Structure 1
Amino acid sequence: MRQSLDIVVLGLSLSSSWGNGHATTYRALLRGLKEEGHHVLFLERDVPWYASQRDLPAPDFCELQYYMQVEDLIGNYADRIRSADAVIIGSYVPEGVRVIDEAATLAPQRLCFYDIDTPVTLAKLDRNDEEYLARRQIPLFDAYFSFSGGEVLNRLEEVYGSRNAVALYCSVDPARYVNTGEAFEWDLGYLGTYSPDRQPTVQRLLLDVARRLPDRRFVVAGPQYPAEIDWPENVDRIEHLPPAEHASFYSRQRFTLNVTRADMTEAGWSPSVRLFEAAACGTPIISDYWRGLDELLPHEDAIIIARDTADVVAALSATNDAKRDEIAASAQARVLADHTGLARSRELVEALLAIPPGRETERHPRQRISA
């Protein structure tokens, strides 16, 4: 008989997808856990920038509660943290270092970290930036679930002292990311919050392409882009696109662009949730290159890898409809087989059940942290 787990997740945000990729990652994973019969309590810091932009205030697949301060979190949910089969703390949680220390003193059955930003996190730690995770805390987790796989897992264990580094990629909910059958509106689109390290690639692989192909239509969706950006006339702008509109957005593109943050490109093996979402919708993807991408989605079979403006111009100009559809179908089949929320939830549960609960002797260092 399948064991039903009670899991507490302390994450950046579940209720709002505004300006972050965490919410959609958590939503797909937690829906998968619900489908498998597990119970999840998600604890989210109540901050104004998400409170004013909530697109999922009352999920039907988990229990969602808000807290104002760390004192409220521990005061109101200490018993739930102690009794849960697993407590998972995510990256970028406000006052994350303190949250981890406080949760650790409660000696949960299994204490884990889910890093949805692993290359960024490690780069920050190397700069002694401990915004949400202290280097001293990594050995305290029973499992360090990482957004990135490959050699990053070895680094986590050999350099940073993780007991158990496990790849847990993001995933997609196939019930919500399906092709809508709408007519094409854009030849190439991009969905992503502005990031200074990504913008040169967006410039090279979309804006410069738009200038070379003035008869084609392009779109960029996402918040926080500076006012001084010079947008070509054939590039539409959408300030914020809630998840409920993602499937329609992807379905109206002949191709979609994937752009990876610099730290993740350097680390490799770091697929973004946008890759899986676009593939599930049957939209062919043009992406910048990082190590491990062609293992996940082989070049020219399930994705087109572009290194410069000319590569994108060629893809848009020379790829016929039959080849476009072939690439899209190959990526879709791979993603629906291995990268859904249900598939990822099963990986998570398998990893959790491999950890003996209540390892008090090994947890003793956590007690000393706050003593």
Structure 2
Amino acid sequence: MTAKVTLAMFGSSLVSAYWNGAATYYRGMIRALAGCGFDVTFYEPDAFDRQQHRDMSDPDWAKVVIYPATTDGWQAALEQARDADIIVKASGVGVFDEELEAEIPRLRSASNLIVFWDVDAPATLQRMQADASDPFRAQVPRFDLILTYGGGPPVVEAYSNFGARRCVPIYNALDPTTHHPVQPDSRFSGALGFLGNRLPDREGRVQTFFLKPAILLPDKKFLLGGAGWDRNVSLTPNVSYAGHVYTRDHNAFNCSTLAVLNINRDSMAQVGYSPPTRVFEAAGAGACLICDAWQGLEQFLEPGKEVLKVDSGEEVAAVLSGLTTTQARRIGKRALLRLLGEHTYEHRARDVKKLLVEQLARRAIPARRDEEVRHATL
């Protein structure tokens, strides 16, 4: 690209990770895309108290536009974004999603690209499959391109069945400038840490993979972080609740326990090929990662060598009982080296750049031909 390509993206939030699990993904991808020559503006609504819980200032690698969570607010933001070369609607903005998904494709022209970026594809597809009247069904074919947070072949096939012109998974990755090894912090000490907000489609798996092992290992300290676990949850005395953990403390959280647990949400575990941000945050900090089993894990980390894969709470307890500090450090170091070599956001951004530039070029060819014909007939 000789000149910068302008990219306008509507998402939940870039500057706040509060009730916003996609924040790490947005930040890593957009920073890397800016490094590849894209001029990015991120549009986010002032909703869900996220602006009151900001954990970063406006970055120098993207412009952030915060619009009121009102009809006038999103319409004004869309008008401002309409001239961008690439206009992206991410899933799960949280307010006026249906309206944005209907209106953004209307901005499609011969000189731009309209993209839907699904940061929760298994859940989106599950929702559409369960409801024949879901309004997004009609919008899928109107986007030039569907990008997904992950999901592999099952997600590509499902989106194709809904009429997607093209669907390409863009997996989570590591941003080593934000997630890296640090010194342990006594606030987060323990044998096993889990960090994740309380969500309906993950709560049962948290009971199975985290709270049950805590019952089985009463002499070991467990650390629970994330919003929502302080109400109507029965925690054994060996479970410490850290509450909402700001992103500035994620490295310390991941580096202070013997091991860190990943627990996928139901839909992501069922579909597979959907490594959440926590996998890359923890492994990027050099943590020994214990991960619930899902198809495609080996595409990112090698079980037994770079990650410890488990199928049940009993397996978590067994692994934790036999894990030494030396073994944990060795596994964490191997995982970090694997990610740095193959799975950083710079790797992902190069793929996205190639894809978007190719798609833009294809969109422009018919327009140029039409223009040539018009001039030839004058």
TM-score by length of 2: 0.89
Contact 1:256 1:284 in 2 (8 A): yes
The partner residue of 1:159 within 158, 161, 181 is 161
Counterpart for residue 145 of structure 2: 143
- 1:192 equivalent to 2:196? Answer yes
The partner residue of 2:116 within 113, 117, 130 is 113
The partner residue of 1:315 within 305, 315, 319 is 319
- CA distance in 1 between partners of 2:91 and 2:41 (Å): 17
Matches within 5 A, 1:1-371: 4-68=4-68, 69-78=70-79, 80-82=81-83, 84-93=84-93, 94-107=95-108, 109-128=112-131, 134-182=136-184, 185-225=189-229, 227-356=231-360, 359=363
**CA, structure 1 residues 123+153, in 2 after alignment: closer, same or farther (shift >3 Å)?**
closer
Number of matched pairs: 361
- CA distance in 1 between partners of 2:260 and 2:138 (Å): 40
Contact 2:150 2:172 in 1 (8 A): no
Q: CA deviation at 1:305?
A: 1.0
- CA distance in 2 between partners of 1:291 and 1:197 (Å): 18
- CA distance in 2 between partners of 1:72 and 1:359 (Å): 30
Contact 1:153 1:166 in 2 (8 A): no
Contact 2:300 2:343 in 1 (8 A): no
Q: CA deviation at 1:25?
A: 1.1
- CA distance in 1 between partners of 2:24 and 2:133 (Å): 25
- CA distance in 1 between partners of 2:7 and 2:162 (Å): 26
Q: Deviations over 1:161-205 (max 9, x none)?
A: 111100111223211111112267111000000123322222222
- CA distance in 2 between partners of 1:138 and 1:301 (Å): 40
The one-letter amino acid of 1:128's match is: D
Look up the SS of the partner of 1:269 in the other structure: coil
Q: Deviations over 1:109-147 (max 9, x none)?
A: 00001100000000111222888x611111111110011
- CA distance in 2 between partners of 1:79 and 1:317 (Å): 56
Contact 1:124 1:130 in 2 (8 A): no
Q: Deviations over 1:251-303 (max 9, x none)?
A: 10110000011111111100000000100000011111111112321210111
The one-letter amino acid of 2:241's match is: R
**CA, structure 1 residues 270+76, in 2 after alignment: closer, same or farther (shift >3 Å)?**
closer
Q: CA deviation at 1:226?
A: 5.5
TM-score by length of 1: 0.90
Query: CA RMSD of the aligned region, Å?
Result: 2.3
The one-letter amino acid of 1:115's match is: D
Q: CA deviation at 1:361?
A: 11
- CA distance in 2 between partners of 1:288 and 1:88 (Å): 32
The one-letter amino acid of 1:72's match is: G
The one-letter amino acid of 2:34's match is: K
- CA distance in 1 between partners of 2:133 and 2:356 (Å): 26
Look up the SS of the partner of 1:201 in the other structure: helix
Look up the SS of the partner of 1:197 in the other structure: helix
**CA, structure 1 residues 130+328, in 2 after alignment: closer, same or farther (shift >3 Å)?**
farther
Look up the SS of the partner of 2:49 in the other structure: helix
**CA, structure 1 residues 66+357, in 2 after alignment: closer, same or farther (shift >3 Å)?**
farther
* Percent of residue pairs identical: 28
232-241 or 111-120, which deviates more: 232-241
- CA distance in 2 between partners of 1:151 and 1:266 (Å): 13
**CA, structure 1 residues 76+228, in 2 after alignment: closer, same or farther (shift >3 Å)?**
closer
- CA distance in 1 between partners of 2:48 and 2:199 (Å): 21
- CA distance in 2 between partners of 1:271 and 1:115 (Å): 14
- CA distance in 1 between partners of 2:170 and 2:227 (Å): 27
Q: CA deviation at 1:79?
A: 5.2
Unaligned runs of 5+ in 2: 368-378
Q: CA deviation at 1:351?
A: 1.2
- CA distance in 2 between partners of 1:75 and 1:20 (Å): 23
Contact 1:110 1:357 in 2 (8 A): no
Contact 2:260 2:282 in 1 (8 A): yes
327-336 or 235-244, which deviates more: 327-336
Q: CA deviation at 1:66?
A: 1.4
Q: Comparing both chains, which one has the higher relative contact order based on Cα–Cα distances under 8 Å and sequence gaps of 6 or more?
A: 1
Q: CA deviation at 1:214?
A: 2.0
Q: CA deviation at 1:48?
A: 4.4
Structure 1: which 4+ aligned runs deviate by more than 4 Å? Answer: 360-363
Contact 2:115 2:145 in 1 (8 A): yes
Contact 2:146 2:167 in 1 (8 A): yes
